[in-house]
Structure 1
Amino acid sequence: MDRYKLEFDNNSSKYIQIYNNIKKLIVQGDIKEHEKLPPIRKLANFINVNNATIVKVYELLEKEGHVYKVMGSGTFVSSINIKKEVKLVDSEDLIHLESGNPSKDMFPLENFKSSINMALEKDGASIFEYDDGKGSKELREELCTYLESKRINTSKENIQIISGAQQGIDIVCKGLINYSDVIFVEEPTYNGALEVFKSRGAKIISIPMLNDGIDIGILKLKLEKIKPKLIYVMPNFQNPTGISYSKYKKKKLIELSEKYNFYILEDDFISDFTFDSEDNLPLRSYDMKNRVIYIKSFSKILMPGLRIGIVDIPKELQEKILWAKYSSDISTPRLIQKSMYYYMKYYNWEEYLDDIDKLYTKKYRKTKTLLEENLSDKLKISKAQGGLNFFLELPRGYSSQDFYNFILQRGVCITPGTYFFDNIMDDRFFRINIANEKIEDIEKGITIIKNNLQEFITSYKNGETISSNKMFY
């Protein structure tokens, strides 16, 4: 029972904290598949809450697919819908097609080192003080100039410096989302956002993705019946599919946000580059109604360890989100902010972006060709218009978790699709990401997948893993 111990805080309800704790134990494998959870009364007494709280927790876990109930026997851990953690193999020969981090040889180390030294020399000891409010004034002004190239007209007063996109999502939710508020998301979508929304007790409604963006027809049907607080989207080179919205859908989404009175949380991580897209402008560039909360991350185009990004916020929301940022970490380190400012201003930022554009575009187009030539006869491949991700679909009757384990043993690491769905019923999808590996290693990895795919298809249909996941109703 010790693993169920929990120290409660005041940031969210006990019900949500207990749910998140048990879910974490399940996902990490600390509670095994088909293991029985403690009886309601016993667990309630152990962590000093009432029985009704545990009933609600178990009901939510069942709704999310993490547990199932057997009449007269109790509540047991499920396995079909469990989101299992990817465990990396420590091997120099392993080809990493799961990592979204840029290759270290892309990092502009020498120039950024110079920008750090410049920050230390110009700002002195003051650079180690807390930065007040929204962040460095100079950096925010420089970022406004940068955003103009994306046709985003804003001011430094609307920009909040953040410690990465994940924090941006978190502080927006802290500032705006209350328990039981509705959030619409793309399906599939970024897992980190899903976890934040669930931690706030939000109700998540998934809208399918089509080849040109979110399914507007289904979205309109949902909006007729349900009022969301916001919708979370990645309109350019979406993670995990690589799909980009058409210009029509970008404009239509803003039109709907005005008609039905909800905000759009736009997560932009790589719209700086065109790839094969006809329109890589951010959704925010079309927004004349102050409906878009725009998060821009630099983790895929600079160095992820810097943990820096921005949120461009409609004026009426700024106070709430500023408070949420302060409560998270007071401020993004001033040394990082000023170093970023000096790097952008004095070290050929546009030239650097152009170099990264060429490198990523070359990787993307080569990978797209390799996938079409080697795997399209057996797997369905998402219609990516660019970016770093490709989403592939196994035939019906197969599990991406099985395929992950199978292909990992042969030297390639991918990401199972379970990470990208709120409540997946059919686990056939997996993602490959091309950010980290060189072109020759990407080609080698795809060749390994091609050469072993038939063996997997022959051996794993309704195989041992799927059979052992049978529910005991």
Structure 2
Amino acid sequence: MQLQIDRSIKTPLYLQIRSQIRQLILANELPPGFRLPPERKLAASLGVNRTTVVNAYHELVADGLIQPHVGKGTVVVNAPLSTEHFSLDHFTSGDSRVRPSSIQPISWQNFYTKQSERMYNPVLASILDEIGEEDQISFALGSPAGEYYPLEEFRQISKEVMRSGNWQAFEYGPTIGHYPLRKYLKEWLSHRSIQTQTQNIMILSGSQQGLDLLAKVFIEPGDYIVMEEPSFLGAIGVFKAAGAHILTVPLDQEGLRTDLLEQILSRHRPKFIYTLPTFQNPSGTKMSLSRRQELLKLAYQYHVPILEDDPYSELYYEGMPSPSLKSMDKHGHVIYLGTFSKMLFPGLRLGWCVAPSAVLEQLALAKQHVDLHTSTTVQWMMTDFCRQGLLDKHLLIVRNRYLQQLNTMVTALTEFAPPGLSWTVPEGGFYLWCELPPGIKAATLLTKAAEKKVTFIPGNAFYINSGGKNRIRLCFSRHSETTIREGIRRLCTAVLEILNQPHPASANSRFRCSEPLV
């Protein structure tokens, strides 16, 4: 299968790929059953980012020309037949049954809902597919370093949980969660000035599930919600899939712009305000205390709930984080999401929600239709881990180590970065939020960096609107200091190559731009 990419024309690369494969299929040069190259392999052969090929394949699936199959890859299906392909010969005499030879495979996309189209997130899929690839350095996935996982401690705990006769740890459990774990979280949160009751805590299969459940409970298609911009791409995807109309408020160095938020609240009646006030993803911003107070004041004044997403506050590297909105809330307006994923193991998929009883009742009803309850066994193990004081001990260790990795990335950028590349150093969390030199787009850099086996997330993935094209997010938590330094060297080399590459259409232009990522 020979494809040609023309970067000098305006047609996006993914549409060029889709058009050429479509023509080959309709001309029967790619017959039914033909297996298309894996997305990553085709991307490498064409010199494009994998997401470009993912988007092209997605278009061909929507056209009914290809279909992904587990274990078989993506294969060509029969091209849809037009009405002139049918005649009376397709039917048996005196019988309306269609001959087997005329039956075509179902084009499943014709049965999908509008919501299924809104769920498509090529950026998130690409990030997760990169896990385990040894030949490249990924600064994309925001997760703890595997080498810091307390595996020995969990091995001992798992042996105890799986002791003979302990069948309770493998039973169905209450939807709201394992009571001993919820009781521990109540006490743990109280030390962080969040005063709540055990019955107001729900255990989740990761805080991402909390976002999904809250969207199911609160959002009807067309409802308004408010988000800071940029914001967590996982939350953007959930709220878009629910059909929300998202109103955005920009950030500055103190966090969400409450002066602009008030203008929105005075004109609309949003279902809630979504924010990550502490070490925000992707910017690393820590909302100032005065902004937190003003945000709560506006929530009370306009009677709007706040959804506080707080995965990073325990990963602070300078001073102490500001108090959570939940700890400052005196009138029950804040719903609080937390997770063990950033502190310990993301693979455990274990988080929690603190909310008024009336809200938790609705979340429990929604959760029953999803997974009945979070894994009983995992909850038992986490309870024992926390009760033995191992969580706080682990946090002391990783804070120091992540600070070293952060400093390594900043030092490497200072050494290798060309003029115009800037970044913000956070006080905690996992990310450096970078601004590219004038004229360089993140999508262009992503393609060039992929050639050098280094990846990141382009800034536009964190924007609901059209911003972030000259921004990138780098995660420093997953790699050793040696790997971080090498990855930054490769990335800065890619930036320099773009800076030194003249635009093919103009001798007066220094920069060359590719198609947008999404």
TM over 0.5: yes
In 2, Cα distance between the equivalents of 1:122 and 1:89? 36
The secondary structure found in structure 1 opposite 2:500 is helix
Aligned to 1:422: 464
Q: Deviations over 1:138-162 (max 9, x none)?
A: 1111111111221111111000000
* Amino acid paired to 2:443: Q
Please name the residue that 2:383 is paired with: 341
* Correspondent of 1:30 among 57, 69, 89: 57
Equivalent-residue separation in structure 2 for 1:383 and 1:225 (angstroms):
35
Q: Which moved more, 1:298-307 or 1:315-324?
A: 315-324
Match of 2:181 among 130, 139, 147: 139
Establish whether residue 215 from structure 1 lines up as the match of residue 257 from structure 2: yes
Unaligned runs of 5+ in 2: 1-21, 23-50, 66-82, 84-108, 504-509
Identity of aligned residues (%): 28
Distance 1:405 1:277, change over 3 A: farther
| Superimposed CA distance per residue, residues 59-101 of structure 1 (whole angstroms, 9 cap, x where no aligned partner) | x99xxxx9xxxxxxxxxxxxxx996964749853422211212
Q: Conserved in 2, the CA contact under 8 Å of 1:404 and 1:414?
A: yes
Q: TM-score, with normalisation over the residues of structure 2?
A: 0.73
- Correspondences of 1:61-460 after superposition (within 5 Å): 86=126, 88=130, 92-121=134-163, 124-276=166-318, 279-346=321-388, 348-375=390-417, 377-382=419-424, 384-425=426-467, 427-459=469-501
Deviating more after overlay: 420-429 vs 295-304: 420-429
Structure 2: distance between partners of 1:255 and 1:372: 41
Greater gyration radius:
2
Q: RCO greater where, 1 or 2, for CA within 8 Å and sep 6 or more?
A: 1
- Aligned equivalents of 2:345, 2:169: Cα separation in 1: 21
Aligned residue for 2:6? none
Question: In structure 1, what is the equivalent of residue 42 of structure 2?
Answer: none
**Alpha-carbon distance in 2 for matches of 1:225, 1:445:** 46
Instruction: Give me the whole-angstrom Cα distance separating, in 2, the residues matched to 1:125 and 1:396.
Output: 62
> Does residue 465 of structure 1 match 2:507?
no
Structure 2 residue matching 1:121: 3-state secondary structure: coil
Cα RMSD between the aligned structures?
A: 3.3
Q: Quickly say closer, same or farther: Cα 1:127–1:188, change in 2 above 3 A.
A: same
Whether contact under 8 Å (2:337, 2:354) holds in the other structure is yes
Distance 1:91 1:308, change over 3 A: closer
Aligned to 1:10: none
Cα pair distance change 1:405/1:236, threshold 3 Å = same
1:378–1:146 CA distance, 2 compared to 1 (3 A): same
TM-score, normalising length: structure 1: 0.80
Say whether the 8 Å CA contact 1:118–1:342 is kept in structure 2.
Answer: no
The one-letter code sitting in structure 2 at the alignment partner of 1:177 is I
User: In structure 1, how many angstroms separate the alpha carbons of the residues matched to 2:52 and 2:167?
Assistant: 44
Q: Take 1:37 and 1:346, find their aligned partners in 2: how far apart are those partners?
A: 55
Classify the secondary structure of the residue corresponding to 2:162. Answer: helix
SS at match of 2:309: strand
One-letter amino acid of the counterpart of residue 235, structure 2: A
| Higher mean C-alpha deviation, range 294-303 or range 94-103 | 94-103
Q: Which moved more, 1:446-455 or 1:436-445?
A: 446-455
Q: How far apart are the structure 1 equivalents of 2:291 and 2:454?
A: 36
Does the CA-based 8 Å contact 1:26-1:82 persist in structure 2? no
Q: For residue 147 of structure 1, what is the amino acid of its counterpart?
A: L
TM-aligned CA deviation for residue 117 of structure 1: 2.1
